[in-house]
Structure 1
Amino acid sequence: MDTKEQSLLNYYYSKLMDHTFDEKDVYAFLQLIRNRSKENRCINELTDFVVQRDQYTGYIKGYLFEMRKKFESLGKTKTALRIEDVFSFKEMKNGINKALEQWQLDGLTNAQMNDFVTCLISILQQIPIMDDDREIGKLFFAISSKQIILMAEIEVYQNMFKKTNAVFPVLTANNSYLDMKKQDRYDTPYLFADKVIEIMSQDGKLEMIIPD
């Protein structure tokens, strides 16, 4: 890493440490640590997805289509449907902290990592899910009283004639930012399909800007 690259990394790292990091910093920070994380699948795939968006064809897209197949097989097999994030919070934290260790930087705490994942979720909202040239779904920002969620909505066929949409979480973070009233006893998330959420830093704390 040359002197200028190190200076840039230190800039974004200090913003994470001070809780002044926001969604506009995600692109640059991921690109900087990706350059030194060539064997870290989690960091590589997330960076490529952020940059390439609907043109991305890597592991995360494969995960989305695998989940689609699982929903389409419901009722046809006895296998229970198990839904897990494409990358867990722990996996993402370990990946970033391993990269930071290479530059003798302290790892992120859970709170700092939560800020990063929340910004990442915001950046990834509204990406269309493409099957060849046809849009079959989209990623949305969702929030419950306890979680910030990158939610996928994707069309599934239960037979040749019956089509419906499946909704499932892709990435999650803790909601320590916004006081949300539970929609129901299951704490069903609010899904922002028609609104684009913006994550900004205000006075050392992330703020969610929700359009009227």
Structure 2
Amino acid sequence: MSLSPEYFEHMFNASDDPWSFRTRWYEKRKRELTLASLPHQRYQRVFEPACANGELSALLAGRCDSLLCQDLNQTAVKLARSRLREYGNVRVEHGRIPEDWPTGRFDLIVLSEVGYFLNAAEWQQVIEQTLLSLSPEGGIMACHWLHAIEGCTQDGRQAHASLERHLPLHRLVRHQEPDFLLEYWSRQATSIDLGETTQ
């Protein structure tokens, strides 16, 4: 990783919400945009690496049958487990990508605010593992901050440029603002089933 595990240990030792996921309107709005950009009302199996304290995870839990969350920091794992304890369809594990990539297929893989914490070679491996793990009708949600982060070897633009170069998928959603870029990639060329009814 471009940033060591000690970096995240320091962050979580200083605060149980080091990026103000719970309190900043920017973060709340970005989560809601992320959920609104998912073309399917419900997914069967979802993987969210780098889940931090589980704020986005709590929203994803309501849109799927099974959610696997993962983080390399033990404090983040503990916080996420506490945040998500009411959801019986969620499992939170300790692990770091790309080394601890889970087995099985997923209908949705959420790569949110994680690409720039990996070096280019690790990010390439994550992209390859994502493709191998994606179900035939699966999709990838990627969302990243676009400004430089001290200590990181790549930024959000570079992370998304790598996705564009290496994902042989259909990009169904691209939403860019001055601060972040959000994209949804799918194995399927169509986005929404117009005949689907709300649950």
- Smaller-chain TM-score bracket: under 0.3
**Structure having greater relative contact order (Cα 8 Å, sep ≥ 6):** 1
Q: Computing the radius of gyration over CA atoms, which structure comes out larger, 1 or 2?
A: 1
Flag the structure with higher helix content: 1
TM-score after normalising by structure 2: 0.27
